[in-house]
Structure 1
């Protein structure tokens, strides 16, 4: 097991990179702590696999250093880094039995056969592979092969870390949840540093204690699933995490708050002061569909938007109901708020307004983004909140 540290790391596939757009990985500093379970989450092309291959030694970075337990390993091969990597498509030796596949890395190290037998059976027990040990790998299903591929990484005691590059892509959907849970159990049992690359937020949240969200070659936020959901540090995190993603509306400064079209939203004095001290090109507000407060204008309890505002303790705005999507356990309501689409997530038993509704944005869940980074009013000094 190892702490993995990235120091001033950057990579470009261009021989003479000149702009930020020339870099697959923009300069970053990051730490994966020893024994942690981490996910590297982002869309295709954001640099996830490139970063993973740099950590494993399959790719040399253009700039910066990779350190294992404070030792620079840039010049070391994957074998000397003691890294196990599980790829998107299972890598097994088809002509060997499952037992021999699992035993192969141990025999390469010269381990005595009684110890090999003990370790193989230990990992086979963890991965439910005992019934398959005598089968040739060529006769296995895709998910069985992937478990064997995982087992080859887990069977070694000296492994520094296990890197997973979208390992469940080829697995049938109904089996994915089993393997996700199995990986979590393996981590809890062996306490191995694990980094799991995926584009699936559910996989990331199920597996990892902390998630690094990548966008445009950068880690734009690193935190727990709850932190990413409740306080996205970047508009991309807000958009990418959640179903549906965060509502984002471009706004401009106005008096003691911000506005879009004819809609004005008040901001706290501290947040206004922070915005006054920042230099930015674009300003947006963001709020999760789950956190939008919905009032039914037709309700006798709340006859108009003004009453809704009094009840909510914040500004309330009338909006037109555009569409209702019933997803069984919840509904997604699409509103038109002063020309801007607004998603609201409703509980299964919540009343759905027919044509008009009133909404309010609780201050604790309303985020403000300057040039896509969260503006925080609770830190010292005027700055953007970043990853």
Structure 2
């Protein structure tokens, strides 16, 4: 078990990188605390698998260090780092039984037979593999084989960390939620640092206590699921997290007022530090924009309304910009003319993609 420190870490696959554009992983300083459940979240090609492979020792970084606790492991091979890794596709021994597969990592380290057997059965119970313990792995489905892979990664209680590289890709969709919950429960029981790579926001947000969001080789925000949803530090985070993602609209800001074309939105904060030439945008999640009948807010035109089961989402156009809004249960709109109500407590202002802090507006005493 270990605290993992990434110290000025960066990596380029080419031999002579000339600038940030040549790095698959741009410089990162980060600490994963012992016993934490972390997710690396981002689209394909953003650098998350490169980072995971650096942590595991499969890739040596171009520069910087990686420490397990205070031990520099940058130049150590994978087998010297005392980690377990679960890959995207099952890694099992087909000729062995499930029991033998689960026991193998412990047997290979000469753990006493009685402790090995007990631990293998404990993990089998957690992953619902008890009924197939004595069946050969070759006769099982891809779902079951991946559960064995998960079990092999989890069976050792002495590892510095367990790394998961999109481990639920081959799992039947109906079982994914169950397995995510199981992994979360196992994490609570084992108190081991777990790092989970995925491009699926649902997997990341349901598994992790802290999510590291990556984009174009860089970490753009690290935070709890609530922090990423409530206060995205970058417009990419707002777009990527949420379904649908955050509305991001070009605007002009004058003090504590944002202008979407000619529509003025009063803000809770003033933004005097904005510089000329910056790209200024307003961000607000659809959950905090409500569709209303015409005349009860900012004028908008309804393009369609999608019923997604738990809610209705309106696809609308306001000030010439497409956006999404929630539709309250008691609201109905006739025709395509409507209005939008903004909950200004959840409006964010971004400059060149980055969240601006702003200053609280001083209200006159009543």
The answer to whether the superposition gives a TM-score over 0.5 is yes
**Structure 1 residues 106-125: aligned runs within 5 Å:** 106-125=106-125
SS in 2 for 1:293: strand
2:313 aligns with: 332
1:367 aligns with: 348
Cα distance in 1 between the residues matched to 2:341 and 2:163: 44
**Structure 1 residues 1-387: aligned runs within 5 Å:** 1-254=1-254, 257-268=257-268, 270-275=269-274, 278=275, 281-297=278-294, 304=295, 308=296, 316-347=297-328, 349-354=329-334, 355-377=336-358
Aligned pair in 2 of structure 1 residues 151, 328: CA closer, same or farther (>3 Å)? Answer: closer
SS in 2 for 1:239: helix
Q: CA deviation at 1:101?
A: 1.1
| Structure 1, unaligned runs of 5 or more | 298-303, 309-315, 380-387
Aligned pair in 2 of structure 1 residues 78, 236: CA closer, same or farther (>3 Å)? Answer: same
Cα distance in 1 between the residues matched to 2:292 and 2:178: 41
Aligned pair in 2 of structure 1 residues 109, 344: CA closer, same or farther (>3 Å)? Answer: same
Compare 79-88 and 319-328 and name the one that shifted more: 319-328
TM-score, normalization by structure 1: 0.89
SS in 2 for 1:119: helix
8 A Cα contact 1:2 1:161, kept in partner? yes
8 A Cα contact 1:274 1:376, kept in partner? no
SS in 2 for 1:369: strand
Aligned pair in 2 of structure 1 residues 179, 265: CA closer, same or farther (>3 Å)? Answer: same
Q: CA deviation at 1:378?
A: 5.3
8 A Cα contact 2:290 2:326, kept in partner? no
Aligned pair in 2 of structure 1 residues 338, 95: CA closer, same or farther (>3 Å)? Answer: same
Cα distance in 2 between the residues matched to 1:255 and 1:201: 35
Cα distance in 2 between the residues matched to 1:256 and 1:145: 57
Number of residue equivalences: 359
Cα distance in 2 between the residues matched to 1:280 and 1:52: 37
Q: CA deviation at 1:109?
A: 1.1
TM-score, normalization by structure 2: 0.94
Q: CA deviation at 1:203?
A: 0.8
Q: CA deviation at 1:129?
A: 1.6
* Residues 359-382 of structure 1, C-alpha deviations (whole Å, 9 max, x = no match): 232221111000101001259xxx
Q: CA deviation at 1:280?
A: 5.6
| Structure 2, unaligned runs of 5 or more | 361-366
What is the root-mean-square deviation in Å for CA atoms of aligned residues?
1.7
SS in 1 for 2:286: coil
Cα distance in 1 between the residues matched to 2:130 and 2:298: 62
8 A Cα contact 1:201 1:241, kept in partner? yes
Q: CA deviation at 1:337?
A: 0.8
Cα distance in 1 between the residues matched to 2:158 and 2:352: 45
8 A Cα contact 1:320 1:335, kept in partner? yes
SS in 1 for 2:28: strand
Cα distance in 1 between the residues matched to 2:256 and 2:238: 25
Q: CA deviation at 1:255?
A: 6.8
* Residues 201-238 of structure 1, C-alpha deviations (whole Å, 9 max, x = no match): 11111111111111111111111111111110000010
Cα distance in 2 between the residues matched to 1:253 and 1:208: 36
Aligned pair in 2 of structure 1 residues 255, 178: CA closer, same or farther (>3 Å)? Answer: closer
8 A Cα contact 2:253 2:271, kept in partner? no
Cα distance in 1 between the residues matched to 2:277 and 2:3: 36
Cα distance in 2 between the residues matched to 1:47 and 1:377: 31
